[in-house]
Amino acid sequence: MPPVPFTQGSLFGEADAIGYGSGQVYDEMVTGQGRLRPHWQTFMSTLGPLDAGQMAERWEEARRLLHQNGVTYNIYGDPNGMERPWPLDMMPLLLPAHEWKAVESGLIQRASLLNAILTDLYGPQTLTRYGRLPPSVIHADPGFRRAVHGIRVPNDVHLHFYAVDLARAPDGRWWVLSDRTQAPSGSGYALENRAVIAKVLPDSFRHCQVERLTGFFDTFKETLLSLAPRGNGARGQPRVVLLTPGPYNETYFEHVYLARYLGLTLVEGADLTVRDRTVFLKTLSGLEQVDVILRRLDADFADPLELRADSSLGVAGLIEAVRAGNVVMANALGSGLMESMAMKSSLPTLCRHLLGEELRLPGVASWWCGNDAERAYVIDHLDGLVVKPAFPSLSFEPIFGAQLSAGERSALIERIRRRPWYFVAQEQMALSTAPVWQDGRLQPRPLVLRVFLCATPSGGYAVMPGGLTRVASESGRLVVSMQSGGGSKDTWILAPRRADVASTQPRPAPATEPTASGARPSANDLPSRVADGLYWLGRYAERAEGALRLLRATQSRLIDSNMPGATLQLRPLLDLLSSLGMIPPDMVRVTESGANRGLREALYAAVTDPDHPNSLRAQVLRLHRTAYSVRDRLSMDMWRVVSAIDRQTLPPKGRMDAATLLLRLDDVMITLAAFSGLEQESMTRGAGWRFLDIGRRIERSLHMIALMRGVHIADLDRQDEPMQAATLAVLLELGESVMTYRARHLTSVERTPVLDLLLGEEANPRALAFQLAALDRHLRALPSQGVGTGTDPTGGALAIVAAARNGLERTDALASVEALRVLLDTLAMSLPDVSNFLAHAYFSHAFARSA
C-alpha cells in the first residue's frame, strides 16, 4: 500500500499547519521557511490519517511496552528511587542515506585515529617524545593507566566498541561533542527503542525503508569471538562474558539486554577469579576459563591489586592475566584515556600525522587551560564559552560563561589559574532541534545523537546504522542528559533501497545453544552468584506468598464477621502474625465487636509499609531486588510478572479501605501464582531452575513448621473443641488444603487427619513431606562436591533431609504430642543447615572442588 498523502491543515500537514516552530536553530524536520524537509515527507504522510487521540493511544502503547519489558534507567541520588522508566518519544529522528554516508566515513576515520593514539601512548609514546602531544596532557590525566603501559593488545586494537556524541550546528554540519571509549552505553537502549517504535508505528517503519540494526551486532559478536587467545577452547567455543558493575549501575538494564542479545554470560566481579594468571568463571561444576571480557566496568575498578585498592567490583589479578595474554578485554584497559577533553584540540594535527588525512568530522572548538596560550584565550573570551572538566574523573557540571555574575566569573578565573590542567573550554553550540510529541502536539527540543561503532574481525570499524538520540526535557535547556530528565528517540537511517527484512527483536541465546563443535554446554556452567540469586528468588517468592495468605485470611475475617467461625479463627491468625513478627504481640486479641484501631493500623502496616522488615511490601521488595540481579536468567514473561507484583504492592498514595485492601491482596495472590506457574511450566529443568525450586521448597518447609509451632499444635488438646476446630480450619486454609480435606473427610476437622495432610502427605504439594521429597531429588541431582577433600556438603544436606523424612514416617510422630513437639523443634533447627551447606558448597565456594 502506498503512503497516504498528507493534507494541508491536518494534524501532520505542513509545519505551519500544526503549530510547530523551530526557532533560530537548525531543525531536523522543517526548513527555515517552516516546510517539511524532503526525507520527512513520506514519514509524515503515513501519520496523516491519525488525529491527536490516536497519537495519544500510540504513545500510551509505547509506554506500556517499555513498562512490560522492564526498560529502566537508574538515576543516582534520586529521592524517589533510582530505577526510572526509560523515557522514549514516539517521533523518531530521520536522516537520509546520503548524509549518513558522509557521517559514517568521518566516524570510521575518527575511531581509527583514536585507536592509533592509544596504541602509541600505551606503547612507544612517540607522540609525546617528539612533541606531537604535550606530555602534560597525558600525565595530568587520572585516566592514564600506567599499570597497562607496555601491554600489547591483539592486533593493536584497543577500541572494540566506541560511541560518539554528535550535534548539528545552525549551518547544518555535524560536530563531535565528545568521545565515549571507556565502556560506552546506549546501544542496548537503541535496540529497545527500535523494537518499540517498530511496533507502535509499523506502517511508517515499513514505508520509510529503515536500515536494520541486527547486522551491526552480528559483526560485533564475531569480533568478540575472534579475540579469544586460545581459539575455540576446550568447550568448542570461546567463553565470552559481559562484566557488569551490578544492578545499581545506571545502565544495568542494558547490560542484561546486551548479554541476552549477544548470547554472552553476564557476570559481576565476584563471579570471576584469577588463578595462575588465567581468569576463571566460578560455576557450579567448578572453574571455567574465560577468554574474552566485554567490559562495562570502568577500568579504575577492574583490578584492586594494580588499580583502585578499594574496588569491590573488579577481579584481583586481572591485569596480570591480560599481561600474560590469557584473556582479552574489550575495550582494552586504559582506553578511557581518549575521553579526555584536553586532547580534542590536538586531534586535527594527530590525524594528519598518524593517518595522513585531514580530520573529516570536526570537533567543537576546544581550549585546554593547561596550555598557557589557550588558557589566556579562555579567560579573555569566557563570556562566549562553556567550561568543562578536562578529564572524566573530574566531575562538575558545565559552566556557561554567559550566565555568570561578575563575582562568579572572577571566582572561576581564579580556579582556572590555580589548577589550569583541570579545565577545558568549548564554544557554546546551539543544538539542532527535533520534534517530540508532548501535550497533544509536536514541539521542538534540542538533541544530541550518540552513534556506535565496533571493530570488525578484519581490523576495520563498522558503524551502527542508527543510534541513540537524546532530547532535552525543555526547549531552553543547554545540556542534554538522561540523568537530568532528558528523553530518547529511535534513529532511522533511510535506506536508498528496501532494507533487508530482519528482526528488530532481541534474540536471546537459549541455555542449551549448540557450540561451534555441536556440543551443548553443561547445565552446571551456571555462575555461582546466579545460582545463589535464583535460590533466594525462590525463597523470597515463597515467603511473600506465605505472608500474603496469612494477611488475606485475617483481613477477610475482619471484613466479614458473619463468616462461620470468623471471631474464633482470628485468634490463631493473630497469634501467627505475631509469632512471625508481622504485628506486635500486644495486638493479638480481638473482641466480639471487632478489631480496634490499633490492630487495624498494625495490619495495614504489615501489608504496605516498606520499612516494616516483615511486611508483605518488604518481602516483595526483596523479591524484586533479587529478581533484578538475575534478570538475564528470567524470561520476559517472568520479569513482567515480577514487575506486576512490585506494582501491586506499592504503598497507596491515599488510605485504602479494608475491602479495597482485600481486593488488592487477591490480585497479588493471582500474580504470585502466575510467577509460580511460569517457574514450573516454562523454565528449562537445568541448574538454575533446580536452585530456584530448592529455595522455594526450603522456605515452604520452614513456613509450614512455623505455622504449626505458632499455633502450638502439639498442645492443641489443651484448648476447647471450638478453638481446636478454628485452629485446624486456619491451618487447612493457609495450607491450601481445605478442598482436599473436605473431599476425604465428611466429618468436622480433627487433628490427626489434618496433620497427615499438611505434614505427612507426599502427594500434597503444600505438605512438608512433599517438600522434603523434592529436596531429596534436587540435592541428588546437584554436581558432586568435595572431591579429595574429605568433606561432602551435599551428603550433609541429604542426611538432614533424610532424617527429617524418617521422622515424619515414624508411626507415632504425628499421633504423640511429645513426639510431634520434638520433631517440629528439631526440624526448625536442622533445616536451615541445608541452606548453609548449599551456600558453602555452591555459592561461596568454601569447600574445595576440582576445576
Q: The domain spanning residue 410 has which CATH number?
A: 3.30.1490.270
With beta carbons less than 8 A apart as the criterion, state whether 336 and 297 touch: no
- pLDDT at res. 792: 66
In tens, the pLDDT along 309-326 reads 999 999 999 999 999 999
CB neighbours (10 Å) of residue 257? 24
- Find the mean pLDDT for residues 587-593: 67
Strand 441-455 to strand 468-471: parallel, antiparallel, or no bridges (unpaired)? antiparallel
Q: Which of 448, 450, 490, 494 is nearest to 471 (CA)?
A: 448
Q: At what angle are helices 187-200 and 52-68 packed, to 10 degrees?
A: 140
Has residue 811 got a pLDDT over 70? Answer: no
The single-letter code of the amino acid at 497 is R
In tens, the pLDDT along 266-305 reads 999 999 999 999 999 998 888 899 999 999 999 999 999 9
pLDDT band at 848 (very low <50, low <70, confident <90, very high): very low
pLDDT band at 845 (very low <50, low <70, confident <90, very high): low
Same domain, 393 and 456: no
Q: Do the domain assignments include residue 348?
A: no
Print the domain residue range for 157: 93-341+431-494
Same domain, 484 and 530: no
What is the secondary structure of 597-628 as a DSSP string? HHHHHHHHHHHH-TTSTTSHHHHHHHHHHHHH
Q: Do the domain assignments include residue 440?
A: yes
SS3 content of the chain, % helix, strand, coil (to 5): 50, 15, 40
**Which of 4-13, 546-555, 739-748 tops mean pLDDT?**
546-555
Same domain, 448 and 410: no
- pLDDT at res. 716: 86
- How many residues would you count in the chain? 851
Has residue 22 got a pLDDT over 90? Answer: no
pLDDT band at 71 (very low <50, low <70, confident <90, very high): confident
CB neighbours (10 Å) of residue 246? 16
Same domain, 176 and 107: yes
How far apart, in whole angstroms, are the C-alpha atoms of residue 94 and residue 130?
Answer: 45
With beta carbons less than 8 A apart as the criterion, state whether 116 and 355 touch: yes
Has residue 517 got a pLDDT over 50? Answer: no
Strand 265-267 to strand 328-330: parallel, antiparallel, or no bridges (unpaired)? unpaired
Same domain, 67 and 177: no
Q: What percent of the chain has pLDDT over 90?
A: 70
Same domain, 811 and 780: yes
- Find the mean pLDDT for residues 168-185: 95
How far apart, in whole angstroms, are the C-alpha atoms of residue 776 and residue 773?
Answer: 5
Same domain, 97 and 79: no
Element containing residue 541 per DSSP (H, E): helix 528-559
Same domain, 387 and 306: no
This prediction's pTM: 0.86
CB neighbours (10 Å) of residue 89? 22
Has residue 503 got a pLDDT over 60? Answer: no
With beta carbons less than 8 A apart as the criterion, state whether 239 and 263 touch: no
Same domain, 80 and 68: yes
How far apart, in whole angstroms, are the C-alpha atoms of residue 504 and residue 499?
Answer: 12
Has residue 498 got a pLDDT over 90? Answer: no
Same domain, 715 and 631: yes
Has residue 819 got a pLDDT over 90? Answer: no
How far apart, in whole angstroms, are the C-alpha atoms of residue 613 and residue 707?
Answer: 19
Of 68, 85, 102, the last residue of a domain is 85
How far apart, in whole angstroms, are the C-alpha atoms of residue 436 and residue 325?
Answer: 49
Q: Do the domain assignments include residue 711?
A: yes
CB neighbours (10 Å) of residue 72? 20
Q: Do the domain assignments include residue 231?
A: yes
Same domain, 614 and 685: yes
- SS3 assignment, position 630: coil
Q: Do the domain assignments include residue 331?
A: yes
pLDDT band at 48 (very low <50, low <70, confident <90, very high): confident
Of 27, 50, 85, the last residue of a domain is 85
- pLDDT at res. 166: 97
How far apart, in whole angstroms, are the C-alpha atoms of residue 784 and residue 548?
Answer: 37
Same domain, 23 and 140: no
How far apart, in whole angstroms, are the C-alpha atoms of residue 372 and residue 614?
Answer: 63
Q: Do the domain assignments include residue 851?
A: no
Q: Do the domain assignments include residue 510?
A: no
What's the whole-number average pLDDT of the chain? 88
Has residue 506 got a pLDDT over 60? Answer: no
Of 440, 472, 494, the last residue of a domain is 494
Q: Which of 766, 777, 820, 767 is nearest to 801 (CA)?
A: 777
Q: Which of 106, 192, 276, 293 is nearest to 506 (CA)?
A: 192
How many separate domains does the chain show?
A: 4
Q: Do the domain assignments include residue 738?
A: yes
